[in-house]
Amino acid sequence: MNSPKILVVDDNPPDLAFVAAALSDAKYSLVTELDSRTALRRFVDEGPWHLLISDLKMPGMDGLTLLTRIKACDPLAEAIIITGHADTSSAIEALRLGAFSYLVKPVHPQELQHCVGRALDRRRLTTEQHRLIKELEARDARRGREIATIASMGNALNSLRRPTELDDEVLPKIATALGADGLAFFLFEEARNELLLTAQYGLPQPVVDQVKRRQIPAAGRSRGCSLRSGEPVLIEKDASLDPRLCAQALQASGVNSLLSVPFRSQGEIIGCIEAYTLSRDSRGFTSEDREFLEAVSHLVGNAIQARKQEQQTRDAEKLAAVGELAAGVAHELGNVFAIVGGAVQYLLANTDTASPSRQYLEAIHRNVAAGDRIIKGLLSFARPSSPRLEPTDIHEILEQARLSLEGEMAKARVTVSRHYWPEPLQVFADAQQMQQVFLNILLNAVQAMPRGGTVTLRAFPEPPLLPWAGVRVEVADTGTGIPAEYLHRVFEPFFTTKEGGTGLGLAVSRQIVAAHGGELGVESQKGRGTRFTIRLPMSPSASPSRADASRGAGGAATCNSAAPPDHRRVA
């Protein structure tokens, strides 16, 4: 693939050199010009270009005039206007003429890099959209409704923040164009080896319930879904009788025709879109429908990748900010907390329990400890240490975390129900780091149950979908739950709904689990509690047999929180 061509125009050589230096590390083909009229000639003669970066005030031809001429030559070309003489009217005019962004000097290099990346993403998506439209226009006239659908999907895909939004914006348009009764959008979770229903439209409720409950293992649908082969699957009629359709729920619903098409991100298959007709009176899908859905899946894959890149950029910026903050204050505040904490401990040791001052000293001690945890959380997130992986029994780590919070749980009237595998579960882990993960999650559970409740701990080998995978730990509470609109953000750095919270506990926990080669996930319903799931690789020497593994969670031992630690393995 050729590098994106960028034309940079500025009559001030130092400003021109700044832009070139800021973009020098990226794989761009940069051409710089001091004269705007020469730049216009080069744009016409040496195109196509992907992006114009132009100063606003230039002799001979200003940036807005240059933008107008370039848009007349290539309407798809993106442009960024930079000026040291900003005013509202020029900014509005630049955006009206089609500029992607309007930046004011001095521009920070990271701001410029981020803006250029997003502009090139839009150029790529817009170019792909126009190319697909032209290909479809050259085909049969009856595909007109599909052309209209592709065109109308552009804005929805460009503004896509997360895959679940496809449910509201895109899937109904696709279903109408295909004449489908139902559509399902799946994403492949590689760590789980599962194909998860992320959005759906028009499916019967029994099918939706079945899909959500089973979370469709990819291995179980390898014959009826396009995910494994990487090629579309088309069943034109009598799909319920076709041996390739493995999902019993779909067979029982009387699916007549099925079309499954994978979509990719950076060349890797990350999911699929499935379309269904549920009546024998409905026309079956055709090869032309398959081509249309392939075009749609291509756009969807590109849009998802663009959103992922934007999120990675935002996370990197947050991480850099935390690193600067932590480096500047951690040492000084650590010393302060150590001195105050030591003094308070001395005073507590020499203060009678009946003294009126004791409650104030205890309050100071608690808040000093809370401040110390915040500093450590900042440092853990900004400068994570590599885990020292050793074969460790996951039960022991869980028990240490539970015992550390035993007093907190008693005060909050929280009981613990443990369901552990009857044999040791050896994982490769850093015991101290994983204990931090379980402490964060358990503390969240306690805080989610202000009136008391139950925390349920489960640990068991996961039933194998492929050769033996690992260990699954679940921490479930009966608390207030997480609202649906916040669920996708719980692992974001600094996102919190708790008063006085830092928003780092779960972000650090996911970071630690990922460094262990594992996965941390969450499920929740408002008012019905929350369940966190931690998956970790198992020590090869400790992997149970397939016969043992087939028992899954059902073979785990059960005990209450009052039982001694050794009792948890009594089957």
Max mean pLDDT range (66-70, 134-138, 171-175, 325-329)? 66-70
User: How far is the C-alpha of 496 from the C-alpha of 503, rounded, in Å?
Assistant: 5
pLDDT recorded at residue 136: 67
Question: DSSP assignment of 202-243, as one string?
Answer: S--HHHHHHHHHHT-BGGGGTTTSSTTTSS-EEE-S-GGG-T
pLDDT at 127 over 80: yes
User: How far is the C-alpha of 455 from the C-alpha of 448, rounded, in Å?
Assistant: 10
Look at residues 545, 530, 432, 531 and name the one whose alpha carbon lies nearest to residue 472.
Answer: 531
pLDDT recorded at residue 242: 54
Per DSSP, what are the bridge partners of residue 521? Answer: 533
Average pLDDT over residues 327-350: 76
Burial of 88 (0-12, 13-18, 19+ CB in 10 A): exposed
pLDDT at 505 over 70: yes
SS3 label, residue 35: coil
Confidence of residue 8 (pLDDT cuts 50, 70, 90): very high
Domains of the chain: 5-126 (3.40.50.2300), 162-309 (3.30.450.40), 311-382 (1.10.287), 390-569 (3.30.565.10)
pLDDT at 22 over 80: yes
Q: Which residue has the tokens 């080069």?
A: 42
pLDDT recorded at residue 220: 43
Average pLDDT over residues 152-176: 64
User: How far is the C-alpha of 95 from the C-alpha of 243, rounded, in Å?
Assistant: 55
Confidence of residue 547 (pLDDT cuts 50, 70, 90): very low
Instruction: Name the least confident of 16-25, 76-85, 133-142, 367-376.
Output: 133-142
Max mean pLDDT range (44-53, 276-285, 501-510)? 44-53
CB 488 within 8 A of CB 164: yes
Q: How many CB atoms lie within 10 A of CB 66?
A: 25
pLDDT recorded at residue 549: 45
> What average pLDDT does the structure give for the chain?
77
Average pLDDT over residues 540-548: 49
Distance of CA 231 to the CA centre of its chain: 26
More confident residue, 532 or 243: 532
Task: Decide the pairing of beta strands 268-277 and 29-33.
Answer: unpaired
What is the percent of the chain where pLDDT is above 90? Answer: 21
User: How far is the C-alpha of 508 from the C-alpha of 321, rounded, in Å?
Assistant: 15
Instruction: Name the least confident of 225-229, 285-289, 407-411, 442-446.
Output: 225-229
User: How far is the C-alpha of 541 from the C-alpha of 352, rounded, in Å?
Assistant: 55
Instruction: Name the least confident of 13-22, 44-53, 179-188, 244-253.
Output: 244-253
More confident residue, 148 or 354: 354
Task: Write phi, then psi, for 433 (nearest 5 degrees).
Answer: -65, -40
CB 571 within 8 A of CB 459: no
Terminal CA-CA length for the chain: 59
Task: Write phi, then psi, for 412 (nearest 5 degrees).
Answer: -85, 5
Max mean pLDDT range (131-140, 257-266, 316-325)? 257-266
Average pLDDT over residues 173-193: 76
Max mean pLDDT range (22-26, 191-195, 229-233, 264-268)? 22-26
pLDDT at 64 over 50: yes
**Tens-digit pLDDT profile for residues 218-230:** 444 444 455 556 6
Distance of CA 528 to the CA centre of its chain: 24
pTM of the full structure: 0.42
What is the percent of the chain where pLDDT is above 70? Answer: 70
